[in-house]
């Protein structure tokens, strides 16, 4: 493994043009992740046609690097403005933004930098050591029933996050699931809820919906605070977390790496659910649960470690089995295909050089987060000094463009602003936007895998739940649901 | 009425309406799928049923406890304040302006409408110094044009009504000339 890694490193750094592409990917991923309104997916979509002119290893490596650094970049806006760069950074905002409001933005961003790097590096190392055996294990043990069970567990966890009551948490998840039913059904391709609009046949696009629910609704919340005179400019702080503070969270980091890696390895699940589940586990194991959501460093650490740990793991099904785990890995399949290659077991035999350049690049990209991230943080924190009346139109313009260029439809811009208004009204009524978005993202995956699973076991629920991993995940989900249900009927915190 | 408030009732009514509409429309695609016995309606109807249960539970909770909160994770404590009419008027304007902008994208195009939208948002966010509005509008417009048109060459809506379409064509020509394309 070490010899292969060194050979991959030599190939990566032996050619100035390849180094240039690597640096472009690192900086581009971080910037597009950090700019509110656009994301690493926007950058990847724009770059996709240009990869035809690159060597296959350079093209795949560029996307892998963007994936690593873009996942980290989204944490910055989540922490500074409560606007996650993408869905996988949503749980980072739960504690990151309250830390900014308390004048601890430097500490939160510093922890995100360090933990993203640790999660990503750990994941890259495991990926290098065990891609083939892990892929073989996954192909034998993970099927549609297990993926459905994990989606179920993830949605149950998400329903207890971010809403004012547990009832509203459940309603939030269900709203997301209901929105996800718009468009063709994943089994028979029958049009559902398109209300006579042909553009809706493909469903609600994720990017405009996510931009609307997160970025636009946050702009509206800040507008309301400005209008009612309650707006307070966030406090800028350059204090990074101390080594002792981070060392105290070593268990949380380890747990998040495991959760992130497990979620990342499953096709279609990826970093978003990893971040939510890791945050949920951090709360579950904490002695001071009530401090979460009010600016607890462990919340940022758990979410950011897990989402970056998922990036390396997501490469395992892609490279070893040819199964993309999300939108960006799906674009990587397109890069392979542009060069007449097919990701899967044959790539390891036919193009080992390509594989090891990608592995090495992902390792160094995560290392770069640590180095460039620390330097970049001090610059980016100055964004907080810009008055919000000037930042808001910039974010709205970027969001408008980001929503439009995906499919070239004005309808998507309308959907984004509608999601913004709905998101604003729901937030002010105590609903959870991250839970809605997770429901929206996982809805189709859950339905598709449930249907495939039922077909696999010939509609016999006994067989369905006798699969050990599926049974464990369903049992964990049911226990969490029962515990939430008990609290829903018994607990109240404050009375108005 | 227990401790229910008018806003609790409106919220519940909206959710009942959503449940009703989605259930009614589910009959439009209620057809069997040969390879899947549950068909295309099963999943949406389960979601609708669960949403109905959760809405009833939420209504019951408000009936018993008013606007109390529960110890969930990551919730924020700040609540909307619409006690003043001025706040409501400004919020309505803030919520409607992006829609007007989005509606105008097709006929007018983004290149012409963007500066007006940017200036309107800055004004709605409370900036009243016209020089600051003008300078920042120009700056944001330049950043937007620089990033999406000059660097990324992203295809953006150009409008389909003259003279707005002509203006967009002029901007694109200028960009092509500057880049020597």
pLDDT, greater one: A141 or A427 = A427
> A-chain residues within 8 Å CB-CB of B15?
171
Answer yes or no: do B116 and B150 share one domain. Answer: yes
Q: Where are the alpha helices (DSSP H) in B28-109?
A: 42-65, 85-108
| Percentage of chain B lying above the pLDDT 90 cut | 50
Backbone phi and psi for residue A325, each to the nearest 5 degrees, phi listed first: -95, -15
What pLDDT sits at residue A279? 87
ipTM: 0.91
Q: Does A458 touch chain B (CB under 8 A)?
A: no
Smallest Cα distance from B103 to chain A, Å: 8
Q: Assess if residue B116 is contained within a domain.
A: yes
> B-chain residues within 8 Å CB-CB of A188?
33-36, 39-40
Q: Does A483 touch chain B (CB under 8 A)?
A: no
Tokens for A356?
């090891």
Tokens for A210?
């996510």
Question: How far is it, in rounded angstroms, from Cα A118 to Cα B159?
Answer: 48
What pLDDT sits at residue A177? 94
Q: Does A282 touch chain B (CB under 8 A)?
A: no
Q: Which of B7, B81, B136 sits opposite A228 (nearest CB)?
A: B81
Smallest Cα distance from B24 to chain A, Å: 10
Tens digit of pLDDT for each residue in B78-132? 566 667 777 888 889 999 999 999 999 999 999 999 999 999 999 998 888 999 9
Which of B16, B25, B43, B143 is most worth mutating to test chain A (most A CB atoms within 10 A of its CB)?
Answer: B43
Answer yes or no: do B50 and B94 share one domain. Answer: no
Answer yes or no: do B119 and B61 share one domain. Answer: no
In chain A, the residue whose alpha carbon lies closest to the alpha carbon of B29 is A192
pLDDT, greater one: A232 or B1 = A232
Where a domain ends, among B65, B96, B111? B65
> B-chain residues within 8 Å CB-CB of A404?
105, 110, 156-157
The Cα-based distances of A415 to A444, B27, B76, B102, B177 in angstroms read 19, 25, 26, 10, 35
Question: How far is it, in rounded angstroms, from Cα A160 to Cα A42?
Answer: 31
Q: Are B36 and A455 in contact (CB under 8 A)?
A: yes
What pLDDT sits at residue A495? 41
Answer yes or no: do B103 and B59 share one domain. Answer: no
Q: Assess if residue B43 is contained within a domain.
A: yes
Inform me whether the pLDDT recorded for A314 exceeds 50.
Answer: yes
Reported confidence tier of residue B73, pLDDT bands at 50, 70, 90: low
Q: Assess if residue B79 is contained within a domain.
A: no
Q: Are B110 and A400 in contact (CB under 8 A)?
A: yes
- How many domains is chain B partitioned into structurally? 2
Answer yes or no: do B60 and B101 share one domain. Answer: no
Q: Are A41 and A403 in contact (CB under 8 A)?
A: no
Q: Where are the alpha helices (DSSP H) in A142-165?
A: 144-159
Inform me whether the pLDDT recorded for A136 exceeds 80.
Answer: no
What pLDDT sits at residue A355? 83
pLDDT, greater one: B84 or A366 = A366
Q: Are A32 and A72 in contact (CB under 8 A)?
A: no
Q: Which of A167, A410, A455 sits opposite B157 (nearest CB)?
A: A410
Question: How far is it, in rounded angstroms, from Cα A312 to Cα A362?
Answer: 8
pLDDT, greater one: A378 or B127 = B127
Smallest Cα distance from B33 to chain A, Å: 6
Reported confidence tier of residue A268, pLDDT bands at 50, 70, 90: low
* Preceding peptide of A122 cis, ω within 30°: no
Segment A161-176 shows an average pLDDT of 88
| Percentage of chain A lying above the pLDDT 70 cut | 92
Reported confidence tier of residue B76, pLDDT bands at 50, 70, 90: low
CB contact under 8 A, A167 and B61: yes
Question: How far is it, in rounded angstroms, from Cα A317 to Cα A136?
Answer: 9
> B-chain residues within 8 Å CB-CB of A174?
47, 50-51, 54
> B-chain residues within 8 Å CB-CB of A224?
80-81, 87, 91, 94
User: What count of other Cβ atoms lies within 10 Å of the Cβ of residue A181?
Assistant: 25
Answer yes or no: do B91 and B168 share one domain. Answer: yes
Q: Assess if residue B74 is contained within a domain.
A: no
Chain A residues 317-356 within an 8 A CB cutoff of chain B: none
Q: Where are the alpha helices (DSSP H) in A381-467?
A: 388-407, 410-428, 433-456, 461-466
In chain B, the residue whose alpha carbon lies closest to the alpha carbon of A418 is B99
Q: Which of B39, B54, B99 sits opposite A174 (nearest CB)?
A: B54
Residues in chain B: 181
Residue B24's domain comprises 6-65
Inform me whether the pLDDT recorded for A328 exceeds 80.
Answer: no
pLDDT, greater one: A230 or A67 = A67
Q: Assess if residue B134 is contained within a domain.
A: yes
Question: How far is it, in rounded angstroms, from Cα A493 to Cα A223?
Answer: 29
Answer yes or no: do B172 and B97 share one domain. Answer: yes
What pLDDT sits at residue A375? 77
What pLDDT sits at residue A496? 37
Reported confidence tier of residue A323, pLDDT bands at 50, 70, 90: low
Give the helix/strand (H/E) hosting A192.
strand A191-192
Reported confidence tier of residue B27, pLDDT bands at 50, 70, 90: very high
Segment A48-69 shows an average pLDDT of 84
Q: Assess if residue B132 is contained within a domain.
A: yes
Q: Which are the contacts of A158, defined by CB distance < 8 A and separation ≥ 6?
A: A169, A173, A276, A280, A432, A434, A435, A438, A439
Question: How far is it, in rounded angstroms, from Cα A308 to Cα A71?
Answer: 6
Tokens for A343?
């990701």
Tens digit of pLDDT for each residue in A435-474? 888 888 788 888 988 999 899 888 888 888 888 888 988 9
Tens digit of pLDDT for each residue in A77-117? 888 888 887 778 888 988 888 888 888 888 888 888 888 88
């Amino acid at each position: 493994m070490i010899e292969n890694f060194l050979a991959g490193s030599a190939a990566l750094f032996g050619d100035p043009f390849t180094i240039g592409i690597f640096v472009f990917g690192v900086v581009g991923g971080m910037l597009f992740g950090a700019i509110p309104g656009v994301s690493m997916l926007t950058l990847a979509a724009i770059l996709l046609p240009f990869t035809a002119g690159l060597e296959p290893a350079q093209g795949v490596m560029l996307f892998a690097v963007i994936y690593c650094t873009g996942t980290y970049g989204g944490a910055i806006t989540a922490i500074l403005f409560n606007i996650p760069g993408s869905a996988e950074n949503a749980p980072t905002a739960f504690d990151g933004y309250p830390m900014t409001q308390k004048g601890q933005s430097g500490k939160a961003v510093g922890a995100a930098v360090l933990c993203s790097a640790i999660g990503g590096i750990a994941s890259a190392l495991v990926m290098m050591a065990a891609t083939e055996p892990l892929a073989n294990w996954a192909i034998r043990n993970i099927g549609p029933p297990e993926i459905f069970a994990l989606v179920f567990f993830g949605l149950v966890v998400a329903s207890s996050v971010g809403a004012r009551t547990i009832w509203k948490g459940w309603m939030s998840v269900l709203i997301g699931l209901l929105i996800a039913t718009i468009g063709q059904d994943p089994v028979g391709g029958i049009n559902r809820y398109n209300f006579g609009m042909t553009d809706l046949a493909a469903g609600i696009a994720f990017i405009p919906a996510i931009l609307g629910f997160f970025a636009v609704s946050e702009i509206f919340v800040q507008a309301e605070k400005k209008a009612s005179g309650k707006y307070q400019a966030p406090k800028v702080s350059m204090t990074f977390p101390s080594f002792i503070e981070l060392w105290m969270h070593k268990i949380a980091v380890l747990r998040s790496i495991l959760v992130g890696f497990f979620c990342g390895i499953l096709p279609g699940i990826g970093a978003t659910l990893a971040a939510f589940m890791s945050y949920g586990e951090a709360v579950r194991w904490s002695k001071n649960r009530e401090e979460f959501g009010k600016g607890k460093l462990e919340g940022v650490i758990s979410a950011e470690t897990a989402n970056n740990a998922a990036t390396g793991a997501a490469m395992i099904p892609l490279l070893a089995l040819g199964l993309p785990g999300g939108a960006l890995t799906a674009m990587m399949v397109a890069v392979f295909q542009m060069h007449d290659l097919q990701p899967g077991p044959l790539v390891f035999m036919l193009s080992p050089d390509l594989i090891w350049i990608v592995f090495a690049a992902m390792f160094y990209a995560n290392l770069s987060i640590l180095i460039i991230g620390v330097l970049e943080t001090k610059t980016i924190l100055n964004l907080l000094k810009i008055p919000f009346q000037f930042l808001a139109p910039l974010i709205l313009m970027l969001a408008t463009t980001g929503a439009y260029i995906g499919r070239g439809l004005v309808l998507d811009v309308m959907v984004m602003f509608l999601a913004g208004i709905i998101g604003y009204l729901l937030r002010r009524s105590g609903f959870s936007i991250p839970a809605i978005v997770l429901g929206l993202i996982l809805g189709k995956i859950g339905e598709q895998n449930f249907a495939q699973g039922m077909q696999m076991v010939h509609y016999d629920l006994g067989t369905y739940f006798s699969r050990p991993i599926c049974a464990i995940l369903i049992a964990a989900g049911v226990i969490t649901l029962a515990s939430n249900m008990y609290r829903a009927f018994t607990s109240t915190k404050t009375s108005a | 009425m227990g401790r229910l408030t008018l806003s609790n009732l409106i919220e519940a009514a909206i959710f009942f309406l959503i449940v009703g509409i989605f259930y009614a429309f589910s009959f439009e695609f209620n057809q069997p799928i040969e390879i899947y016995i549950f068909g295309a309606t099963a999943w949406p109807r389960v979601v609708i049923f669960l949403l109905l249960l959760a809405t009833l539970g939420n209504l019951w909770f408000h009936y018993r406890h008013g606007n109390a909160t529960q110890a969930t994770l990551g919730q924020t404590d700040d609540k909307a304040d619409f006690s003043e009419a001025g706040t409501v008027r400004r919020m309505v304007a803030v919520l409607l302006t992006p829609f007007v902008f989005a509606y105008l994208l097709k006929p007018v195009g983004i290149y012409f409408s963007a500066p007006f939208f940017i200036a309107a948002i800055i004004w709605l966010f409370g900036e009243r110094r016209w020089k600051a509005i003008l300078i920042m509008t120009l700056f944001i417009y330049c950043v937007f044009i620089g990033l999406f048109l000059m660097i990324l060459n992203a295809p953006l809506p150009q409008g389909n009504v003259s003279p707005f379409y002509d203006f967009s064509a002029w901007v694109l020509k200028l960009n092509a000339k500057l880049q020597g394309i």
